[in-house]
A and B are shown apart, each in its own frame.
Chain A
Amino acid sequence: MKNLIFYIHLNTVKILLLGNEAIAYGALAGGVAVATAYPGTPSTEILETLEEFRDRFVHWAVNEKTALEIAYGATVAGARALVAMKHVGLNVAADPLHSAAYTGVEGGLVVVSADDPWMHSSQNEQDTRWYGLQAYVPVLEPSDPAEAYRYAKTAFELSEKLKHPIILRSVTRVSHVRAPVEVEPPSPPKWGRFSKDISRFNLVPAYARERRKALVEKWGTIGEVSAELMRVEPGGHVTIVTSGVAYNYVKEAVRLLNIDATIIKLGMSVPIPPKIRELVKGTVVVVEEGDSVVETQLRALRLETRGKIDGYFPKYGELNTRKVAEGIAKALDIPYNLPQPPKSPIEAPPRPPVLCPGCPHMGTFYILRLATAGLNPVWSGDIGCYSLGINTGQQDLITHMGSSVGLGMGVAVASKQFVVATVGDSTFYHSVLPQLIDLATKKVPLLVVVMDNAYTAMTGGQPSPSRLIPPEKIAEAFGIPAFVIDPADIKTSIEVVKRAVEIVKSGRPVLVVSKRPCVLVATRKARKAGVAIPKYKVEPEKCIGCGICYNLLKCSAIQARPDRKAYIDPVLCVGCGICAEVCPVDAIKGNGARVKWLEVWQQA
């Protein structure tokens, strides 16, 4: 990436860029001055790319609401700003989004929201475009990285022209697709100055009513702008309306089906241009990724459609060429025989996501299991790597960011059961802080465990505020007793957590902070610094095949041999030595200085 920056200062080049990188470079070409985000797959690389440009204000915010507020504030003051998040993050940021449409903006405001159909790394399939309709914010929908680059740049101009925020809707198969993109040099950042306008920026009822009227009127104008981003590829009498990534599958499907169709590709899928009504006669086939957002708008224009609403295309999951070809064939009532995909000669055993070998969460879960033995706790979980506690039966509820403490409180007050709420440090700051205040004022008995690995690990290790503002200090300020443990020190930690459990049993909330940095960050740093990482080995003659290391601790570097004895993959082992601590017969031995390595690791 460093090379790229060098090149783009020389001239325009075509290089392979991830959709998210393309959005970042598009924003740079568009003169972005302020860029904020909360990491979330598949959106993270947008801000990661922008981070390298020190002449802009680039910030990983504590959550999406704060991120959008900073960007919105900057654009109210006339600067150009981009805020990036995953689709579910837009729920967190929904409040300021709606207000931004009412007040409008002075500098361009681009809200990037990346959807994740089929939930590769998410809890739901929500379609960002509904927010466009709901909040009266136009939605641009790029189909590939090259278009994502152009739309990101265009979005700033458009937003400024309309004095209105713009949503750039990406999906996994745009954000995380690498394709050739032509990149221009960055434009200088556009900063601004706040000019007071009482009746515009104060959404008190008297003024808000006027803003509402203006907003509805503006929406009509935006419909006309939408027509400028519509592209008609003329063909036969069959008309296919499509947008975003779905366009690609349409292009391949019509070739596969050998049909001559007119393809109308919408660049702005919310609102669709009312003018489209004049372009089509009869029934149109509608192909879109996500919900039937375009189709619903087409029907509102009294057009007859065949899309997702009547089941011509699947209502869940991701599209692909096969599904689109099948759907188009069904909609046009033409025969199409799909070749059957071949069957594997033997079925591959599943390889579900697991915690990385040596992950501190593995130690924490083991400690929690032993310290709460006999209590049959309800495990109120959260979004992050530690969701994988599901593999050891230690996550019973995982619903959304910050669900652990809120839902945990609800379960505890409703059922009087013993509840353990597990949450990572980044999620703790993102959305558990307010809940902690309710927990403190209401004194609900809850064992809150912050699995503090000092990074936002699941999205690749973005910074977390945990070293600057330690969770235990916050708990103390709130009057909640706090304990700190090291997940690599199993025996001591179990005793500490047992004390915490006693306090919960007496009817009060407790916070346990399990501190050890993400193993991926630690091993990366150790490799750079030339620090030796010990390896652990099982002595087969001593191993009794109890399975504690591979079933309960469940280290993914350890497998059960056919005779049930343990085997540690030497390539995967990162020398945390936790397995040696939990082995009841002392059959696991390391070859190096564990203490030194754990010290270096703790500083990672």
Chain B
Amino acid sequence: MARGMATSLVIVGVGGQGALTLARWIGEAALAAGYDVRIAEIHGMSQRGGSVEVHVRFGKEVYAPVVEEGGADYVVALEAVEALRAYKYLKPSGVLVANKRVIQPPGKWVDPQLVLEAITKSGIKAYVLPCFDMAMELGSPIYENAVMLGAVSKLLNLPMPESLDERNREAFRRGARLVV
């Protein structure tokens, strides 16, 4: 990260997976760490089941609320197909962090293996993490985003957000252990 420049994240997922909450947690942690923050959300149609995309930028001084194509330091994907859709946002030096979960898009069955292979063999630095499985171990898919938060916070060197409840804290800790 060049001095004065912001870190840019694009967070994607499928409606209902908690991408917005994940972005807010990262924003909260960045603010607590003393950074300026912008989170660009999209509300409205497709509350469940549609593609969701949230942009987060933090740094000493941030102006633009959105990340342009080729401008993201990190793409964080709660779902693997969405990881591919958001690929265009990555800088050549960018990092892709993807949940190892495929939620089938309507109408067309995609081979999960093919999707995951495309991510790992794409040539950019990629982490494919079992956030969904880990969340299920904790008892519910709703912990998926907190597991991802743990991993991403570790990569970004951000603290655990204060607003997490105990279950999510546990998910966070397990997620953080996924990236060593």
Min Cβ gap B104→A in Å is 4
A178 partner residues in chain B, CB cutoff 8 A? 24, 27, 37-39, 41
Question: Which of A121, A345, A349, A554 is in CB contact (< 8 Å) with B108?
Answer: A349
Name the residue among B43, B50, B110 with the largest chain A CB count within 10 angstroms. B43
Choose from B44, B65, B68 the contact partner of A458 (Cβ within 8 Å).
B44
> When each residue 119-145 of chain B gets 1 if its CB lies under 8 Å from chain A and 0 otherwise, what string results?
101101000000000000000010000
Q: Does A322 lie within 8 Å of B109, measured CB to CB?
A: no
Supposing A248-B65, A322-B69 touch, asked if A349 and B38 sit within 8 A by C-beta, the answer is: no
Residues of chain B with a CB closer than 8 A to A391's CB: 106
As a 0/1 sequence over residues 18 to 29 of chain B, the CB contacts with chain A under 8 angstroms (1 = contact) are 000000100110
Q: Mark A135-173, 1 if CB is under 8 A from B, else 0.
A: 000000000100000000000000000000000000011
> Which of chain B's residues has its CB closest to A385's CB?
B45
State whether A120 touches B44 (Cβ < 8 A). Answer: yes
Query: Nearest Cβ distance between residue B7 and chain A, in whole angstroms?
Result: 14
Identify the stretch in A188-196, A273-281, A298-306, A334-342 within 8 Å (CB) of chain B at 4 or more residues.
A334-342
With contact pairs A339-B92, A348-B85 given, residues A173 and B121 touching in the complex (Cβ less than 8 Å)? no
Known A121-B44, A180-B36, A353-B50; contact A343-B88, beta-carbon cutoff 8 A? yes
**Chain A interface helix/strand/loop/mixed:** loop
Q: How far does the alpha carbon of A121 sit from the alpha carbon of B44 in the complex, in Å?
A: 6
- The answer to whether B49 touches A356, judged by C-beta atoms less than 8 angstroms apart, is yes
The answer to whether B50 and A354 touch across the interface, beta carbons within 8 angstroms, is yes
B window 96-119: CB within 8 A of A: 103-110, 114-115, 118-119
CA distance A321 to B89 in the complex (A): 13
Q: Tell me the smallest distance from the CB of B15 to a CB of chain A, in Å.
A: 8
Interface residues of A (CB under 8 A from B): 14-16, 18, 41-42, 44, 120-121, 144, 172-173, 176-180, 245, 247-249, 251-252, 318, 320-323, 338-354, 356-357, 385, 387-388, 391, 458-460, 520, 550, 554, 556, 559-562, 569, 571-572
Q: How far is the CA of A14 from the CA of B31 in the complex (A)?
A: 9
Known A180-B36, A347-B84; further 16 A-B contacts with Cβ < 8 A: A16-B31, A178-B27, A179-B37, A322-B69, A341-B70, A344-B118, A345-B84, A346-B114, A346-B115, A348-B81, A351-B50, A352-B46, A357-B49, A460-B43, A559-B109, A561-B109
B14–A351 CB distance below 8 A: yes
Are the CB atoms of A173 and B66 closer together than 8 Å?
yes
Total contacting residues, chain B, CB less than 8 A: 56
Contact A354 B46 (CB under 8 A): yes
A-B pairs with beta carbons under 8 Å apart, 17 shown:
A15-B31, A16-B39, A41-B43, A173-B66, A177-B38, A178-B39, A179-B65, A251-B63, A341-B90, A342-B87, A349-B108, A353-B45, A354-B46, A354-B49, A354-B106, A356-B49, A520-B47
A560 to B106, CA, bound (A): 8
Which residues of chain B have C-beta atoms less than 8 A from A247's C-beta?
Answer: 63
Q: Are A342 and B70 also in contact (CB < 8 A) when A348-B84, A351-B81, A561-B109 are?
A: yes
* Max chain B C-beta neighbours (<10 A), residue from A44, A179, A247, A458: A179
Given contacts A346-B84, A348-B82, contact A320 B24 (CB under 8 A): no
Docked Cα-Cα span, A94 to B14, in Å, equals 37
Whether B70 pairs with A340 at a CB distance below 8 angstroms is: yes
Tell me whether A176 and B87 are in contact in the complex, defined as CB-CB below 8 angstroms, given that A321-B64, A559-B106 are known contacts.
no
Contact at B48–A356, with CB atoms within 8 Å?
A: yes
In Å, the complex CA distance between A177 and B39 comes to 5
A16 contacts B50, CB within 8 Å? Answer: no
- Number of A-B pairs whose CB atoms are under 8 Å? 172
Q: Shortest CB–CB separation between residue B57 and chain A, in angstroms?
A: 10
Residue among A14, A323, A560 with the highest chain B CB neighbour number at 10 A: A560
Ranked nearest first, the 4 interchain pairs of A and B with the lowest CB-CB distance are: A121-B44, A353-B46, A341-B70, A341-B69
Distance (Å) between the CB of A42 and the closest chain B CB? 7
The reply to whether A320 and B46 form a contact with Cβ atoms under 8 Å apart is no
Interface residues in chain B, defined as those with a beta carbon under 8 Å from any beta carbon in chain A: 14, 16, 24, 27-28, 31, 36-51, 63-71, 81-82, 84-85, 87-90, 92, 103-110, 114-115, 118-119, 121-122, 124, 141
B46 contacts which chain A residues (CB < 8 A)?
352-354
A residues in contact with B31, CB < 8 Å = 14-16, 180
Q: What is the bound-complex CA distance between A460 and B64, given in angstroms?
A: 27
CB distance from B133 to the nearest CB of A (A): 13
- Are B92 and A342 in contact, with the CB atoms below 8 A? yes
- The answer on a CB contact under 8 Å between B70 and A42 is no
| B90–A556 CB distance below 8 A | no
CA–CA, A16 and B82, complex, Å: 27
Chain A residues near B36 (CB, 8 Å)? 179-180
Assess the B115–A252 pair: CB atoms within 8 A.
no
Q: Which residue of B40, B45, B67, B70 contacts A176 across the interface (Cβ within 8 Å)?
A: B40
Q: A176-B42, A341-B88 are in contact. Are A249 and B70 (CB under 8 A)?
A: no
Contact between B85 and A252, CB atoms less than 8 A apart:
no
**Inter-chain contacts of B105 with A (CB < 8 A):** 349-351
Q: How far is the CB of B176 from chain A (nearest CB, A)?
A: 22
Residues of A within 8 A of B49 (CB): 351, 353-354, 356-357, 556, 572
